[in-house]
């Protein structure tokens, strides 16, 4: 054999192009990119011949050739040889894998490269094959090649193994999921997310840390800084002790004007006595003035509240000369002006001359207003000027009417006002009412007119000193006081203090624990004596459900003159009906904990049943009109004026004996009518009031025992105010909420279990009405009533 089979193989690493040399050793990611087999390994016959011829070249070249062949060993190959060769192929492979990968060349590109390489290899082979030296050399090269080939094989094997391993791993991952039929896989118990409680507060300290007082607190009026005659008078009316909120607020407000350094915000449950808490300080402050000036303004949202506050003022002002005015817009504006402002004439030649001069120049300031004044001047005595004085010390008004007087009533001025009370503040600040806050505050903060300035004020004005800031005490109250800083900020309170009333347990907690923003904003209070019920109803027969409720003994079968509550909560989550003569009905209820979903069809199993005593024929007295003792005393809330009228119509048609006992209270009722209705209700001539939310705020009706939410309230605050019409001033009361299927979830989540309401141990309890008594006859009557309603709405021809 003329020469070795693999003569003149130039190891890939000896190539000039390092990328080309490294490719054969590089393991490939996919089988399609197999390591490139070194091309020169199998030499063609032509090549061998050429090699032989060239091997006969001079010995001189032999040395240089052997040196050349040594030099051609790449540093990489040498390195491998030093490191122990084949054993380190794995490490080498890994190292190369980390190197940036060589882009895969296209086949044409590979061929071109091969062509470029060929002449070089030919040169080398010619040089290496000459005589015995050439043989040695070729042996050496052959061995080197074998070594490299062995390394390549080994590396190929390793990469092949790796590929196999990866494929098996992939297969394991791709295994199809185990099938478990339709039974859900057992899941680990879910860890509830911890409630986020920020460690910082964005509320100002006065809101975040209010002054709290326990609802059990009582202070005798005689221990307070109140006129003894007034204390005596209050006592004669059964008011000896100040309630909790009064005990906290009165000391702050009874101080004299110089000591009153704070504006006061009050957040306390409905019926806790907030009205007296601000009326007493007003009376004590106003009683000592010798002249009449408008010094106190009380703003409330509705006409009914205006007259209610007036009643409290009338109770407290006995023996004083305090003049009280009301402004509600139920009478003509002119008549109201005359009640509030006294017009007089004073001799003031200077003022008259100035005015006449203006008139002659036809300079008008403020347009029509000045023209009016000119007209007035023309009808007074010569050299006389019209003057105006207030006829009232204290004005109780709605915001809209107050703005009307400020802007249009000549002589109406807030220059002497020292007190501004905003009752039901969240409602008044929610609705803009002609931007009343801005108008009133701008007036209160503006400089007094010269006539209203005191002597010292006139002197400092003459000396052109800047006017002193006026001392006005603001009192802001609500059972659902807003923590909205923007709204409260609009009242521009001065060093405000927030007073809240908590139940005894909460009071202890509040005293020891600092209140953060979260808890401060979440406090709504319900009267502790209130019992709350929830009744699922069928939407299509809701009036029938209401009728059944009104007839049930636990609702209607008790005297309106006693405060005995037919349902006594015996322990948490359970209740029972107190036995009463001839009463066979019973109630045992489930707490709200058992009633997560209103749509739960198993309601009936868990809930309780109110047996209709009348339908069972065991007590016919329960709903007889003559037996007033057993008539329901109830305020029923609907969501709109229309619903109020419709429901009244249906109830009267369904159960005619109720007709003369039903009254409606909504926005379309005049003040006089609503006053009359409330008076009749207090006297027991009317027992059922069907009302819109107009009656939900502030209304105080003694002996009102039941509230029915026939339609859902708008929100949580709405609920608190509605149900707060009962269980007032420590008396008992019940609230019944009828919920349709679609409303149940919202009611339970947003009202019954609302975290914002402090209910303590109490729960809203769910009961079911027994509808057995509703027979075909009643359903027919219901249908007729609906038809009657339709023709009443559309007219008889339709």
Q: Note the residues at the interface with ligand ATP (CB under 6 A).
A: 239, 241-243, 246, 268, 270-276, 479, 698, 700, 724, 728-729
Residue number with CB closer to ligand ATP (248 or 340): 248
With contact defined as beta carbons under 8 Å apart, do 761 and 530 qualify? no
Nearer to ligand ATP, 395 or 481 (CB): 481
Min dist. Cβ of residue 724 to ligand ATP (A)? 5
Closest CB to ligand ATP among residues 244, 778: 244
Sign of CA dihedral 663, 666, 669, 670: positive
Which one, of 709, 685, 680, 683, lies nearest residue 695 by Cα? 709
Q: How far is the CB of 314 from ligand ATP (least distance, A)?
A: 13
Q: Are 407 and 439 in contact (CB under 8 A)?
A: yes
- By beta-carbon proximity to ligand ATP, the closer residue of 268 and 665 is 268
* Helix, strand or coil, per DSSP, at residue 536: strand
Which residue reads 């105010």 in tokens? 721
Instruction: Report the nearest approach of ligand ATP to the CB of residue 217 (Å).
Output: 11
- Asked if residues 322 and 286 have their Cβ atoms less than 8 Å apart, the reply is yes
How many helical (H) and strand (E) elements, i.e. helices and strands, does the chain have?
30, 25
CB contact set of 772 (below 8 Å; sequence gap of 6+): 612, 615
| Euclidean distance between CA atoms 705 and 562, whole angstroms | 10
> Please, which residues bridge with residue 342 across strands?
389
Instruction: Report the distance separating Cα 95 and Cα 253, nearest Å.
Output: 85
CB of 281 to ligand ATP, least distance (A): 14
CA distances in angstroms from 627 to 145, 474, 556, 631, listed in the order given: 122, 49, 11, 7
Closest distance to ligand ATP from the beta carbon of 378 (Å): 49
As measured in angstroms, the least distance from the Cβ of 562 to ligand ATP is 17
Instruction: Choose between 609 and 696: whose C-beta lies nearer to ligand ATP.
Output: 696
Distance of closest approach, residue 406 Cβ to ligand ATP, in angstroms: 26
Q: How far is the CB of 298 from ligand ATP (least distance, A)?
A: 12
Residue from 284, 282, 287, 307 nearest 297 by CA: 282
- Which pair of tokens denotes residue 327? 């402004």
Q: C-alpha 183: how far from its chain's center?
A: 39
CA gap 84, 88 in Å, rounded? 7
**What separation in angstroms does the CA of 577 have from each of 552, 561, 726, 783?**
12, 19, 19, 33
Three-class secondary structure of residue 571 per DSSP: strand
Residue written as tokens 């390489």? 117
Cα distance between residue 190 and residue 529, in whole Å: 38
Closer of 101 and 240 to ligand ATP (Cβ): 240
Least CB distance from residue 477 to ligand ATP, whole Å? 7
Joined together, the tokens standing for residue 492 give: 């521009």
Which residues are within 8 A (CB) of 743 and not within 5 positions of it... i.e. 6 or more apart?
A: 598, 712
Taking the complex as a whole, the smallest distance from the CB of residue 241 to ligand ATP amounts, in Å, to: 6
CB of 309 to ligand ATP, least distance (A): 9
Rounded CA-CA distance 688/711 in Å is: 16
Strand partners, 394: 296, 324
Residue closer to ligand ATP, measured from CB, 91 or 729: 729
Q: Cβ of residue 563: shortest distance to ligand ATP, in angstroms?
A: 13
The residue (of 239 and 785) whose beta carbon lies closer to ligand ATP is 239
CB of 423 to ligand ATP, least distance (A): 7
Cα three-residue angle 262-266-271, rounded to 5 degrees: 150
Q: How far is the CB of 501 from ligand ATP (least distance, A)?
A: 9
DSSP 683: H
Whichever of 322 and 704 has its CB closer to ligand ATP, that residue is 704
Q: Closer to ligand ATP by CB, 235 or 624: give it.
A: 235
Closer of 243 and 709 to ligand ATP (Cβ) = 243
Q: Using DSSP bridges, classify how beta strands 497-502 and 296-299 pair: parallel, antiparallel or unpaired.
A: unpaired
DSSP 182: B
Round to whole Å and give the CA distance between 777 and 217: 54
Provide the CB-side half-sphere exposure for 524 (13 A, CA): 20
3-state DSSP assignment of residue 748: helix
Residue 437 beta carbon to ligand ATP: minimum distance, rounded to whole angstroms: 20
Q: How far is the CB of 598 from ligand ATP (least distance, A)?
A: 28
Four-CA torsion 195, 201, 205, 209, nearest 10 degrees: 10
Nearest distance in Å: CB 729, ligand ATP: 3
Contacts of 590 (CB under 8 A, 6+ apart): 573, 606, 607, 608, 765, 766
**Closest alpha carbon to 636 in 655, 618, 662:** 662
CB of 77 or CB of 249, closer to ligand ATP:
249
Termini Cα distance of the chain? 123
* Neighbouring C-beta atoms of residue 167, cutoff 10 Å: 11
Q: Which is nearer to ligand ATP, 271 or 281 (CB)?
A: 271
Q: Say which DSSP state 215 is in.
A: T
CB of 490 to ligand ATP, least distance (A): 21
Q: Would you say 208 or 735 has its CB closer to ligand ATP?
A: 735
Closer to ligand ATP at the Cβ: 227 or 586? 227
- Which lies closer to ligand ATP via its Cβ, residue 481 or residue 546? 481
**393/700 with CB nearer ligand ATP:** 700
Helices 641-654 and 776-794 pack at an angle, to 10 degrees, of 140
């Amino acid at each position: 054999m003329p020469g070795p089979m693999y003569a003149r193989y130039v190891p890939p690493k000896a190539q000039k192009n390092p990328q080309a040399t490294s490719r054969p050793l590089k393991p490939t990611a996919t089988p399609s990119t197999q390591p490139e087999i070194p091309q020169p390994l199998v030499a063609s016959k032509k090549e061998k011949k050429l090699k032989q011829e060239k091997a006969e070249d001079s010995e001189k070249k032999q040395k240089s050739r052997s040196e050349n062949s040594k030099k051609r060993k790449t540093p990489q190959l040498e390195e491998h040889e030093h490191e122990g060769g084949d054993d380190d192929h794995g490490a080498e492979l890994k190292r190369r894998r980390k190197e940036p990968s060589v882009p895969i060349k296209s086949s044409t590109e590979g061929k071109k490269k091969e062509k470029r390489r060929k002449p070089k290899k030919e040169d080398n082979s010619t040089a290496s094959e000459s005589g015995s030296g050439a043989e040695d050399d070729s042996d050496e090269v052959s061995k080197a090649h074998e070594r490299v080939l062995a390394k390549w094989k080994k590396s190929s094997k390793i990469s092949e193994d790796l590929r196999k391993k990866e494929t098996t791993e992939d297969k394991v991952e791709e295994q199809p999921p185990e099938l478990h039929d339709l039974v859900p896989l057992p899941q680990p118990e879910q860890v509830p997310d911890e409630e986020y409680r920020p460690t910082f507060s964005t509320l100002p300290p006065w809101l975040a840390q209010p002054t709290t007082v326990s609802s059990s607190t009582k202070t005798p009026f005689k221990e307070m800084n109140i006129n003894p005659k007034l204390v005596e008078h209050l006592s004669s009316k059964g008011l000896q002790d100040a309630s909790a909120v009064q005990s906290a607020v009165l000391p702050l407000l009874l101080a004299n004007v110089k000591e009153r350094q704070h504006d006061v915000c009050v957040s306390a449950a409905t019926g806790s006595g907030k009205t007296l808490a601000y009326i007493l300080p007003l009376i004590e402050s106003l009683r000592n003035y010798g002249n009449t000036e408008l010094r106190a303004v009380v703003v409330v949202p509705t006409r009914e509240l205006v007259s209610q506050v007036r009643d409290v003022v009338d109770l407290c002002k006995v023996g004083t000369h305090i003049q009280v005015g009301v402004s509600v817009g139920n009478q003509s504006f002119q008549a109201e002006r005359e009640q509030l402002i006294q017009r007089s004439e004073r001799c003031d030649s200077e003022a008259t001359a100035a005015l006449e001069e203006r008139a002659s120049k036809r300079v008008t300031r403020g347009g029509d207003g000045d023209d009016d004044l000119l007209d007035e001047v023309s009808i007074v005595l010569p050299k006389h000027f019209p003057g105006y004085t207030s006829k009232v010390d204290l004005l109780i008004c709605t915001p809209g009417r107050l703005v009307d007087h400020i802007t249009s009533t000549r002589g109406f001025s807030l220059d002497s006002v020292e007190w501004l009370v905003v009752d039901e503040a969240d409602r008044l600040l929610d609705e803009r009412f002609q931007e009343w806050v801005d108008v009133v505050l701008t007036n209160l903060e503006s400089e007094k007119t010269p006539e209203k300035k005191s002597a010292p004020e006139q002197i400092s004005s003459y000396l052109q000193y800047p006017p002193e800031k006026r001392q006005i005490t603001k009192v802001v109250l609500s059972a659902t006081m807003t923590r909205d800083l923007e709204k409260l900020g609009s009242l521009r309170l001065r060093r405000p203090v927030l007073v809240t009333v908590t139940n005894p347990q909460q009071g202890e907690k509040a005293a020891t624990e600092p209140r953060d923003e979260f808890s401060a904003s979440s406090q709504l209070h319900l009267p502790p004596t209130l019992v709350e019920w929830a009744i699922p109803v069928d939407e299509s027969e809701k009036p029938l459900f209401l009728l059944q409720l009104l007839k049930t003994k636990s609702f209607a079968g008790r005297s309106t003159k006693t405060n005995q509550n037919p349902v006594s909560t015996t322990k948490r989550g359970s209740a029972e009906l107190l036995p009463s003569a001839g009463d066979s009905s019973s109630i045992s209820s489930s707490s709200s904990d058992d009633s997560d979903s209103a749509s739960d069809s198993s309601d009936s199993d868990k809930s309780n049943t109110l047996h209709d005593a009348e339908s069972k024929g065991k007590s016919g007295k329960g709903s007889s009109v003559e037996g007033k003792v057993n008539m329901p005393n109830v305020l029923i809330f609907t969501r709109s004026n229309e619903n109020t009228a419709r429901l009244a119509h249906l109830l009267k048609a369904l159960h005619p004996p109720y007709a003369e006992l039903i009254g409606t209270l909504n926005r379309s009722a005049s003040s006089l009518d609503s006053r009359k209705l409330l008076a009749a209700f207090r006297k027991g001539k009317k027992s059922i009031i069907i009302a819109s939310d107009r009656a939900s705020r502030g209304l105080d009706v003694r002996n009102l025992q039941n509230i029915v939410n026939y339609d859902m309230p708008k929100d949580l605050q709405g609920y608190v105010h509605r149900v707060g019409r009962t269980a007032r001033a420590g008396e008992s009361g019940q609230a019944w909420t009828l919920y349709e299927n679609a409303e149940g979830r919202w009611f339970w989540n947003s009202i019954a279990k609302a975290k914002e309401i402090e209910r303590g141990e109490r729960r809203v309890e769910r009961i079911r009405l027994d509808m057995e008594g509703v027979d075909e006859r009643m359903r027919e009557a219901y249908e007729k009533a609906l038809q009657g309603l339709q023709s009443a709405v559309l007219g008889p021809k339709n």
